[in-house]
Amino acid sequence: MVKSYDVVVAGAGPAGAAAAAVLAGRGLSVALVDRAEHPRPKLCGGLLTAKSVEALARVFGLSPADLAERGGLFHQTPRYLFLHQGRELLAGAAAEPFRFVDRPDFDALLAGVAVARGAEYLPGRAVEACDAASGLVRLRGGGELAGRFVIGADGANSVTRRALGPGGPGGFDRAAWGRNLAAAIEVELPVGGGPGQFPREVLAPELHVGAPNVPAAGYGWVFPGPRGPKVGICGLRRAERDGRGFAAIFLDFLRLLGVAEPEGVALHGHPLPYGNALARPASGRLILAGDAGGFVEPLFGEGIFYALATGAHAASAALCGLKDGEAAAAVEYGRLLARTVRPELVWSNRLRWLLFGAMRHFGAGPIRGFVKSAPAALAEMVHGRRSFGLLTRKTWEWGEGVGT
């Protein structure tokens, strides 16, 4: 039997939860399907910028205090560090704090809000296939769901995205997607002097660039973590140095940071869309949001905000489409993306190639100049108060159905 809904949301991460929360809040029938059950593991640094905090308030009605009480917010600090080749370039302060969440609890909280508003949560059900024209979603192990719209929010390895191509209605280009996909590795280490331990406490986020063992088009990070510092690298695979794999590069990075005998550390990896936001993320009844649509900022790899924003925009587009048809939904989604996230992704991509290119040819000089000339503006750019486009003031716009 096929069960029908106004909207089927595939994936209950931040993008899917945002979409489901907006739509269920408007009284629509919504299925929120996920192959896992919350709280589920999720590899992520968990850094929230100020624009993510704004999105959480608008979409879910959650403040930082709510997150601290219910959703795994465990640390905040206005300090940050930029390091080149392991040496400090800049210790900066931002007007607004960087906040850190533990993703399993955070994601569970967001999905819980969608369910409290009336979404039907279907955990442990993997989407196997989706048809963009009919809105039919087939589940692994049997069963089908029908949506007047389907929001594909099933992450970087999205199954719903396959409905766009190759050669399909959205013209999804698998080769281009692969070229811009970053590899990311991240581990959480206990503090201590022993093998596989991190040698110091970490209270402020650190970004590491330019070390020979950090990928050319990518960077390393050390973030405060809920159980110990989180250390990670991400970079485009085509930027791998000397044909060395990411695991070897990452072990070198751990050595640079003073971790003894890092070979014994269990490594975890996950792909990160890193400059591959889809040009046409909506087709027929299908709208892709979050990592599934490639909506990650391609300089710092920030994805939580873009998942929240595109999830909410996809919901607004579906609301429009339920009134005026599929074509109207695609137009509205395109309009919201063009007014909000798309310019940021385009400009941060340009800045990425400018900075990494300059670093390759001239070493730390250009990046030192960039970072030191305007540390507060840099933080404002990351927080979303200024645009990546020439540092102009930025305000974020939200579509129909998204609260204030």
Ligand X SMILES: Cc1cc2nc3c(=O)[nH]c(=O)nc-3n(C[C@H](O)[C@H](O)[C@H](O)COP(=O)(O)OP(=O)(O)OC[C@H]3O[C@@H](n4cnc5c(N)ncnc54)[C@H](O)[C@@H]3O)c2cc1C
Residues that bind ligand X (CB under 6 A): 10-16, 33-36, 42-47, 126-127, 153-155, 159, 184, 186, 232, 270, 272, 290-292, 296, 301-305, 307
* Residue placing its CB nearer to ligand X in the complex, 47 or 320: 47
The CA-CA-CA angle for residues 268, 203, 296, to 5°, reads 50
Report how far residue 78's alpha carbon sits from residue 178's, in angstroms, rounded to the nearest whole number.
Answer: 35
* Residue placing its CB nearer to ligand X in the complex, 36 or 358: 36
* Residue placing its CB nearer to ligand X in the complex, 244 or 268: 268
* Residue placing its CB nearer to ligand X in the complex, 307 or 317: 307
* Residue placing its CB nearer to ligand X in the complex, 46 or 220: 46
User: What does the DSSP 8-state code read for residue 162?
Assistant: G
Q: Which two tokens stand for residue 43?
A: 């590899």
Closest CB 141 distance from ligand X, rounded Å = 11
Half-sphere exposure of 273 (CA within 13 A, CB side): 26
* Residue placing its CB nearer to ligand X in the complex, 160 or 283: 160
Closest CB 237 distance from ligand X, rounded Å = 14
Closest CB 388 distance from ligand X, rounded Å = 15
* Residue placing its CB nearer to ligand X in the complex, 79 or 368: 79
User: What does the DSSP 8-state code read for residue 204?
Assistant: S
Report how far residue 325's alpha carbon sits from residue 348's, in angstroms, rounded to the nearest whole number.
Answer: 33
Closest CB 41 distance from ligand X, rounded Å = 9
- Cβ–Cβ under 8 Å, residues 261 and 195: yes
- Cβ–Cβ under 8 Å, residues 60 and 38: no
User: Which of 262, 264, 258, 319 lies closest to 287, judged by CA?
Assistant: 319
Closest CB 193 distance from ligand X, rounded Å = 26
- Cβ–Cβ under 8 Å, residues 185 and 244: no
Strands (E), 264-369: 269-273, 282-283, 286-288
**Burial (0-12, 13-18, 19+ Cβ within 10 Å), 393:** exposed
For strands 206-209 and 73-84, give the pairing.
Answer: parallel
Report how far residue 41's alpha carbon sits from residue 243's, in angstroms, rounded to the nearest whole number.
Answer: 30
Closest CB 278 distance from ligand X, rounded Å = 13
Closest CB 59 distance from ligand X, rounded Å = 12
* Residue placing its CB nearer to ligand X in the complex, 36 or 364: 36
- Cβ–Cβ under 8 Å, residues 53 and 385: no
- What's the length of the chain? 404
* Residue placing its CB nearer to ligand X in the complex, 280 or 368: 280
Closest CB 363 distance from ligand X, rounded Å = 27
Q: Which two tokens stand for residue 185?
A: 């590795």
The phi and psi torsions of 105 (rounded to 5 degrees) equal: -70, -40
Closest CB 399 distance from ligand X, rounded Å = 18
Angle, helices 341-362 vs 326-339, to 10°: value is 50
Closest CB 361 distance from ligand X, rounded Å = 28
3 state DSSP class of 142: coil
With CB atoms as reference, the residue minimizing the distance to ligand X is 303
* Residue placing its CB nearer to ligand X in the complex, 36 or 204: 36
